Amino acid sequence: MSVELNGRTRLWTSDLLSSLPGVTHAITRRVEGMGGANGNIGFSAPRDRADAWAMRQAWCAAGSLVPERLVTLGQVHGATVHIATVAHAGSGAAPGSGQIGLGDALATEHAGPVLMTLHADCQPIFFVDPGTRRRGPRVAVAHAGWRGTVADVAGVTLAAMHASFGTRVEDVRVSLGPAIGACCYSVGDDVARAWRNRAGADAPAALDSTAGQSRFSLTSANTILLARAGVRSEHVEASEVCTRCDGDRWFSHRGQGPLTGRFGAMIAIEGDGVIG
Protein backbone atom coordinates (compact mmCIF):
# COMPACT_ATOMS: atom_id res chain seq x y z
CA MET A 1 0.00 0.00 0.00
CA SER A 2 1.13 3.60 -0.60
CA VAL A 3 0.06 7.03 0.53
CA GLU A 4 0.46 10.30 -1.30
CA LEU A 5 2.92 13.14 -0.80
CA ASN A 6 2.21 16.35 -2.72
CA GLY A 7 -0.17 14.50 -5.01
CA ARG A 8 2.26 11.71 -5.94
CA THR A 9 2.65 8.20 -4.55
CA ARG A 10 5.39 8.20 -1.93
CA LEU A 11 5.19 6.65 1.54
CA TRP A 12 4.89 2.88 1.83
CA THR A 13 2.54 1.44 4.43
CA SER A 14 1.34 -2.02 5.40
CA ASP A 15 -2.29 -2.97 4.81
CA LEU A 16 -2.15 -5.29 7.82
CA LEU A 17 -0.82 -2.68 10.23
CA SER A 18 -2.99 0.09 8.80
CA SER A 19 -6.02 -1.90 9.95
CA LEU A 20 -4.91 -1.71 13.61
CA PRO A 21 -6.09 1.24 15.74
CA GLY A 22 -3.76 3.41 17.78
CA VAL A 23 -0.61 2.94 15.67
CA THR A 24 0.92 5.03 12.87
CA HIS A 25 3.71 3.74 10.64
CA ALA A 26 5.35 4.53 7.29
CA ILE A 27 8.42 3.82 5.20
CA THR A 28 10.03 6.60 3.17
CA ARG A 29 11.35 6.12 -0.35
CA ARG A 30 13.84 7.36 -2.90
CA VAL A 31 12.31 10.26 -4.86
CA GLU A 32 14.26 11.76 -7.74
CA GLY A 33 14.75 15.49 -7.17
CA MET A 34 13.43 15.55 -3.60
CA GLY A 35 15.80 17.70 -1.55
CA GLY A 36 19.51 17.50 -2.25
CA ALA A 37 19.75 13.69 -2.28
CA ASN A 38 16.49 12.24 -3.60
CA GLY A 39 14.70 12.10 -0.27
CA ASN A 40 17.57 10.47 1.64
CA ILE A 41 16.64 10.49 5.33
CA GLY A 42 20.04 9.36 6.64
CA PHE A 43 22.79 11.46 8.25
CA SER A 44 25.71 9.23 7.21
CA ALA A 45 28.64 10.93 5.47
CA PRO A 46 28.99 12.26 2.87
CA ARG A 47 25.74 14.05 3.69
CA ASP A 48 24.45 17.58 4.06
CA ARG A 49 22.87 17.16 7.48
CA ALA A 50 20.71 20.23 7.11
CA ASP A 51 19.20 18.69 3.98
CA ALA A 52 18.80 15.35 5.76
CA TRP A 53 16.95 17.03 8.62
CA ALA A 54 14.71 18.82 6.11
CA MET A 55 13.94 15.43 4.55
CA ARG A 56 13.09 13.95 7.95
CA GLN A 57 10.74 16.84 8.56
CA ALA A 58 9.10 16.45 5.13
CA TRP A 59 8.64 12.70 5.39
CA CYS A 60 7.31 12.90 8.94
CA ALA A 61 4.83 15.58 7.88
CA ALA A 62 3.61 13.28 5.09
CA GLY A 63 3.15 10.46 7.58
CA SER A 64 1.56 12.61 10.32
CA LEU A 65 4.56 12.01 12.60
CA VAL A 66 6.54 14.51 14.69
CA PRO A 67 10.18 14.65 13.50
CA GLU A 68 11.47 16.14 16.77
CA ARG A 69 10.36 12.93 18.52
CA LEU A 70 12.23 10.47 16.29
CA VAL A 71 14.38 7.85 18.06
CA THR A 72 17.27 6.31 16.11
CA LEU A 73 20.07 3.81 16.64
CA GLY A 74 23.69 3.40 15.67
CA GLN A 75 22.96 0.30 13.58
CA VAL A 76 25.54 -2.49 13.77
CA HIS A 77 23.95 -5.46 11.93
CA GLY A 78 23.21 -7.37 15.12
CA ALA A 79 20.26 -8.23 17.35
CA THR A 80 20.42 -5.74 20.22
CA VAL A 81 17.03 -4.22 21.12
CA HIS A 82 16.60 -0.87 22.87
CA ILE A 83 13.44 -0.09 24.84
CA ALA A 84 12.43 3.55 24.28
CA THR A 85 10.69 5.55 26.97
CA VAL A 86 9.08 8.97 26.70
CA ALA A 87 12.40 10.49 27.79
CA HIS A 88 14.10 9.00 24.71
CA ALA A 89 11.89 10.88 22.23
CA GLY A 90 14.20 12.99 20.05
CA SER A 91 17.29 10.79 20.54
CA GLY A 92 19.08 10.95 17.20
CA ALA A 93 16.32 12.98 15.56
CA ALA A 94 18.00 16.27 14.59
CA PRO A 95 21.67 16.89 13.74
CA GLY A 96 23.76 16.90 16.91
CA SER A 97 21.31 14.90 19.03
CA GLY A 98 22.63 11.67 20.55
CA GLN A 99 21.16 8.36 19.45
CA ILE A 100 19.63 5.95 21.95
CA GLY A 101 22.61 3.59 21.52
CA LEU A 102 24.06 0.86 19.29
CA GLY A 103 21.72 -1.85 18.09
CA ASP A 104 19.26 -2.86 15.39
CA ALA A 105 15.81 -2.79 16.96
CA LEU A 106 13.66 -0.38 18.94
CA ALA A 107 10.51 -1.05 20.96
CA THR A 108 8.18 1.04 23.09
CA GLU A 109 4.93 0.92 25.03
CA HIS A 110 4.63 4.71 25.19
CA ALA A 111 3.02 7.34 23.01
CA GLY A 112 5.63 9.97 22.17
CA PRO A 113 8.70 8.23 20.72
CA VAL A 114 8.69 7.79 16.94
CA LEU A 115 10.89 4.74 16.38
CA MET A 116 12.97 4.75 13.18
CA THR A 117 15.46 2.39 11.56
CA LEU A 118 17.35 3.12 8.32
CA HIS A 119 17.66 0.83 5.30
CA ALA A 120 19.17 0.39 1.85
CA ASP A 121 18.40 -3.30 0.97
CA CYS A 122 18.23 -4.58 4.57
CA GLN A 123 14.73 -5.54 5.64
CA PRO A 124 12.57 -3.33 7.88
CA ILE A 125 10.39 -5.38 10.24
CA PHE A 126 7.46 -3.78 12.05
CA PHE A 127 5.92 -5.44 15.12
CA VAL A 128 2.59 -4.44 16.69
CA ASP A 129 1.06 -5.92 19.82
CA PRO A 130 -2.48 -4.57 19.36
CA GLY A 131 -3.19 -4.50 23.09
CA THR A 132 -6.57 -4.90 24.74
CA ARG A 133 -9.29 -2.73 26.25
CA ARG A 134 -7.20 -2.54 29.41
CA ARG A 135 -3.94 -1.57 27.76
CA GLY A 136 -2.89 0.11 24.56
CA PRO A 137 -0.66 -1.16 21.77
CA ARG A 138 3.07 -1.88 21.96
CA VAL A 139 5.27 -1.44 18.89
CA ALA A 140 8.75 -2.21 17.59
CA VAL A 141 10.83 -1.92 14.45
CA ALA A 142 13.96 -3.85 13.45
CA HIS A 143 16.72 -3.55 10.84
CA ALA A 144 17.54 -6.99 9.40
CA GLY A 145 20.37 -7.52 6.95
CA TRP A 146 21.79 -11.00 6.59
CA ARG A 147 23.79 -10.73 9.82
CA GLY A 148 20.82 -9.48 11.81
CA THR A 149 18.59 -12.10 10.25
CA VAL A 150 21.00 -14.91 11.10
CA ALA A 151 21.29 -13.45 14.62
CA ASP A 152 17.47 -13.71 14.76
CA VAL A 153 16.80 -10.04 15.41
CA ALA A 154 13.12 -10.79 14.78
CA GLY A 155 12.95 -13.41 17.52
CA VAL A 156 15.05 -11.33 19.90
CA THR A 157 12.73 -8.34 19.39
CA LEU A 158 9.69 -10.45 20.19
CA ALA A 159 11.41 -11.78 23.32
CA ALA A 160 12.23 -8.22 24.40
CA MET A 161 8.61 -7.17 23.92
CA HIS A 162 7.47 -10.11 26.04
CA ALA A 163 10.01 -9.40 28.78
CA SER A 164 9.42 -5.64 28.87
CA PHE A 165 5.72 -5.32 28.11
CA GLY A 166 4.19 -8.75 28.73
CA THR A 167 3.46 -9.11 25.01
CA ARG A 168 2.12 -12.49 23.91
CA VAL A 169 3.80 -13.53 20.68
CA GLU A 170 0.62 -15.12 19.34
CA ASP A 171 -1.05 -11.68 19.41
CA VAL A 172 1.68 -9.83 17.51
CA ARG A 173 1.17 -8.60 13.95
CA VAL A 174 4.30 -8.31 11.82
CA SER A 175 5.00 -6.55 8.54
CA LEU A 176 8.14 -7.41 6.57
CA GLY A 177 8.90 -4.34 4.49
CA PRO A 178 10.70 -3.82 1.16
CA ALA A 179 14.16 -5.41 0.96
CA ILE A 180 16.54 -6.83 -1.60
CA GLY A 181 15.04 -10.00 -3.05
CA ALA A 182 16.64 -13.35 -3.71
CA CYS A 183 16.53 -12.39 -7.40
CA CYS A 184 19.31 -9.86 -6.72
CA TYR A 185 20.96 -11.14 -3.53
CA SER A 186 23.77 -13.52 -4.35
CA VAL A 187 25.76 -14.39 -1.21
CA GLY A 188 29.02 -16.13 -0.35
CA ASP A 189 29.71 -19.34 1.50
CA ASP A 190 29.97 -17.48 4.82
CA VAL A 191 26.39 -16.27 4.58
CA ALA A 192 25.09 -19.61 3.33
CA ARG A 193 26.88 -21.46 6.13
CA ALA A 194 25.64 -19.07 8.81
CA TRP A 195 22.05 -19.39 7.60
CA ARG A 196 22.21 -23.19 7.44
CA ASN A 197 23.54 -23.26 11.00
CA ARG A 198 20.62 -21.08 12.12
CA ALA A 199 17.81 -22.67 10.09
CA GLY A 200 18.81 -26.32 9.81
CA ALA A 201 16.32 -28.28 7.73
CA ASP A 202 14.38 -25.09 6.94
CA ALA A 203 17.40 -23.42 5.29
CA PRO A 204 16.51 -24.25 1.64
CA ALA A 205 13.25 -22.30 1.93
CA ALA A 206 15.29 -19.08 2.01
CA LEU A 207 18.55 -20.15 0.30
CA ASP A 208 18.80 -21.35 -3.28
CA SER A 209 22.25 -22.83 -3.89
CA THR A 210 21.72 -24.34 -7.34
CA ALA A 211 24.07 -23.76 -10.26
CA GLY A 212 27.04 -23.10 -7.97
CA GLN A 213 25.68 -19.80 -6.67
CA SER A 214 23.72 -19.05 -3.50
CA ARG A 215 20.83 -16.60 -3.47
CA PHE A 216 19.32 -15.55 -0.17
CA SER A 217 15.83 -14.27 0.62
CA LEU A 218 15.71 -12.04 3.69
CA THR A 219 11.91 -12.13 3.58
CA SER A 220 11.69 -15.94 3.51
CA ALA A 221 14.34 -16.25 6.21
CA ASN A 222 12.60 -13.83 8.56
CA THR A 223 9.25 -15.48 7.89
CA ILE A 224 10.76 -18.80 9.01
CA LEU A 225 12.21 -17.26 12.17
CA LEU A 226 8.94 -15.50 13.02
CA ALA A 227 7.09 -18.81 12.75
CA ARG A 228 9.67 -20.47 15.01
CA ALA A 229 9.14 -17.69 17.55
CA GLY A 230 5.42 -18.39 17.61
CA VAL A 231 3.96 -15.68 15.37
CA ARG A 232 0.85 -16.91 13.60
CA SER A 233 1.15 -17.09 9.81
CA GLU A 234 -2.04 -15.08 9.36
CA HIS A 235 -0.45 -12.30 11.42
CA VAL A 236 2.49 -11.84 9.02
CA GLU A 237 2.44 -9.67 5.91
CA ALA A 238 5.41 -9.56 3.53
CA SER A 239 6.20 -6.99 0.85
CA GLU A 240 7.11 -8.33 -2.59
CA VAL A 241 9.27 -5.27 -3.42
CA CYS A 242 12.93 -5.90 -4.29
CA THR A 243 14.79 -2.68 -3.51
CA ARG A 244 17.50 -3.36 -6.09
CA CYS A 245 15.08 -4.18 -8.92
CA ASP A 246 13.06 -1.07 -8.08
CA GLY A 247 16.02 1.22 -7.52
CA ASP A 248 14.24 4.25 -8.97
CA ARG A 249 12.01 4.26 -5.88
CA TRP A 250 14.26 2.68 -3.23
CA PHE A 251 17.81 3.15 -2.01
CA SER A 252 19.86 0.02 -2.68
CA HIS A 253 23.38 -0.66 -1.44
CA ARG A 254 23.81 -3.49 -3.94
CA GLY A 255 22.35 -1.51 -6.82
CA GLN A 256 23.69 2.00 -6.18
CA GLY A 257 26.84 1.46 -4.13
CA PRO A 258 27.89 2.06 -0.51
CA LEU A 259 27.36 5.82 -0.63
CA THR A 260 23.69 5.56 -1.55
CA GLY A 261 21.03 7.08 0.70
CA ARG A 262 18.75 5.48 3.25
CA PHE A 263 15.01 5.11 3.57
CA GLY A 264 13.45 5.21 7.02
CA ALA A 265 10.99 2.78 8.64
CA MET A 266 8.99 4.70 11.26
CA ILE A 267 6.37 3.58 13.78
CA ALA A 268 4.69 5.24 16.76
CA ILE A 269 1.83 4.74 19.18
CA GLU A 270 -0.70 7.49 18.63
CA GLY A 271 -0.23 10.38 21.05
CA ASP A 272 2.45 13.06 21.35
CA GLY A 273 4.51 11.71 18.43
CA VAL A 274 1.59 11.58 16.02
CA ILE A 275 -0.26 14.49 14.47
CA GLY A 276 -3.97 13.76 14.78
Core vs surface per residue 166-200: b (16+ CB within 10 A) or e: ebebeebbbbbbbbbbbebbebeeebbebbbebbe
Is the pLDDT confidence value at 8 over 90?
no
Considering the domain boundaries, does residue 276 fall inside one? Answer: no
* CB of 91 closer than 8 Å to CB of 112: no
Whole-angstrom Cα distance, residue 126 to residue 122?
Answer: 13
- pTM of the full structure: 0.96
pLDDT of residue 2: 55
* CA 45 to chain CA mean position, Å: 21
The residue range of the domain holding 153 is 2-269
> Strands 236-238 and 214-216, how do they pair?
unpaired
Considering the domain boundaries, does residue 229 fall inside one? Answer: yes
Structural domain count of the chain = 1
Considering the domain boundaries, does residue 274 fall inside one? Answer: no
Considering the domain boundaries, does residue 275 fall inside one? Answer: no
Considering the domain boundaries, does residue 62 fall inside one? Answer: yes
Considering the domain boundaries, does residue 84 fall inside one? Answer: yes
pLDDT one-digit tens code per residue, 33-76: 999 999 999 998 888 999 999 999 999 999 999 999 999 999 99
Which residues sit opposite 274 in a β-bridge? 65
* CB of 55 closer than 8 Å to CB of 35: yes
pLDDT of residue 5: 57
Q: Residue 69's domain is classified under what CATH number?
A: 3.60.140.10
pLDDT of residue 72: 98
